[in-house]
Amino acid sequence: MQITLSQNLSYCFGVKRTLTLVEELLAKNPDKMFYMLGEVVHNEHVINDLKAKGLQVVYDLDQVEDSGTVIIQSHGAPREIFEVLKTRNIDYIDATCPMVEVIHKKIRRIEEQGYFPVIIGQRGHDEVRGIAGQVKDALIFGRPEEVTGDHFVGREKVGVVVQSTFIRTEALAVLEKIKKLVPEVKFENTICRPTTERQSEVKRIAGKYDCIVIIGSKSSANTNHLFYLASGTESCVYLVDEPESIPNLHIPPDSTVFIASGASTPMSLIEQVVSALTQGDQSP
C-alpha cells in the first residue's frame, strides 16, 4: 500500500490557538473551574481528553457557577452571550478564531450600512449561530433551493457572508440564486484560507488515488465537506473517526491511498489511523 499524506493535516491555526490556550489554563490553574461554552472543536477525542483534564463542557450559561471562568469556543458566540456574562459578572476568555471574528465584524458592518444580513452556511452550526447573533436579524441559506423570492419581499439591498468552512462552489451557487432576486447584493467571501487550501487539495487529487481516507469527526462540518468533495469520483472514499474502523474498510493491499483530515483532527489520531493502515497492509 502506497500512502500519501496531505500537506494540510491536523489542526488549522484557529483550532491550534484555542486548544493551546485551554491546555495552558487547565495546567496552570488546577483548582479553578473552567467551562467551555459548547465544544471547543467538533472532535470527540479532543473533547474527551480536555474533560479528563478538568474542563467542563456546557451548552447553557445556567450550568455555570458564578465563580468559574467561561471560555468562548473557537466558533464564536452571539453577542447576547457576552451580555449575560457581563451582567452576571462571570469571568470569561474569548477564544473565538480570529478569522471568525472577521466575519462578525463584516456582518455587523453590513447591517450598519443598511444592507439586510444574509449568511450562507449550515443552519444550526455553532459558528453560524455566532455569526447570526451579531445582528438583529439575518437569513441563513445552506443550499440554492432554499432561496426563494418570499425571503426577499421588500428587500432591495442584502449583504452576504459565508461560514468560514463552507464549500466555495456551494456558496457561489447560493449567491447566484440570491442575485437573481435582489437588486443590490454585497458579497463578502469569508471562507477562511485554511479551508480553501484543504478543499482545493482534495478536489485536485480526487480520482488520482485508488482510495481517499478523510480522518475526522462526523460532527465536523469541514471534515464532512472534504468527504463530500472527494466523493463521486473514481476513488473509493472513507471518513474515519477512529483507527479501530480501519479493518472494516475495503482497501486492497496494492492500493494508492491519500490521507486528508479535518481542521479539528489531532495529529495523534492521524498517526494511529496511518499505523493501522500500514499494519493491515502487512497482514498475511
Could you tell me the CATH number of the domain that includes residue 87?
A: 3.40.50.11270
Which amino acid, residue 40? V
My answer on whether 262 and 238 are in the same domain is yes
Determine the pLDDT at residue 221.
85
What's the mean pLDDT when you consider all of the chain?
91
Domain limit, last residue, from 72, 97, 122: 97
What's the confidence (pLDDT) of residue 201?
Answer: 92
**Boundary (domain end) residue, out of 64, 97, 130:** 97
Q: Exactly one of 127, 170, 242, 271 is catalytic; which is it?
A: 127
Helix, strand, coil tally for the chain in percent (to 5): 45, 20, 40
Q: What is the pLDDT of residues 238-262, one digit of tens each?
A: 999 988 988 888 888 889 999 999 9
Same domain, 78 and 120: no
219: CATH: 3.40.1010.20
Q: What is the pLDDT of residues 179-206, one digit of tens each?
A: 999 999 999 999 999 999 999 999 888 8
Instruction: Identify the helix (H) or strand (E) that includes residue 273.
Output: helix 267-282
Question: Same domain for 103 and 187?
Answer: yes
Q: Clarify whether residues 117 and 157 are in a common domain.
A: yes
> Which three cell numbers mark 206?
480526487
Domain boundary among 97, 124, 147: 97
* Claim to verify: residue 205 and residue 277 sit in the same structural domain: yes
Count other Cβ atoms within 10 Å, centred on residue 252.
Answer: 11
Q: Do 198 and 234 lie in a common domain?
A: yes
3-state DSSP assignment of residue 222: helix
Res 224 pLDDT > 70: yes
Q: Are residues 200 and 136 in the same domain?
A: no
Domains held by the chain: number: 3
pLDDT band (50, 70, 90) for residue 281: low
Which residues constitute the domain of residue 116?
99-191
Active-site residue 127, yes or no?
yes
Q: Are residue 90 and residue 21 in the same domain, yes or no?
A: yes
Instruction: Tell me: do 181 and 252 sit in the same domain.
Output: no
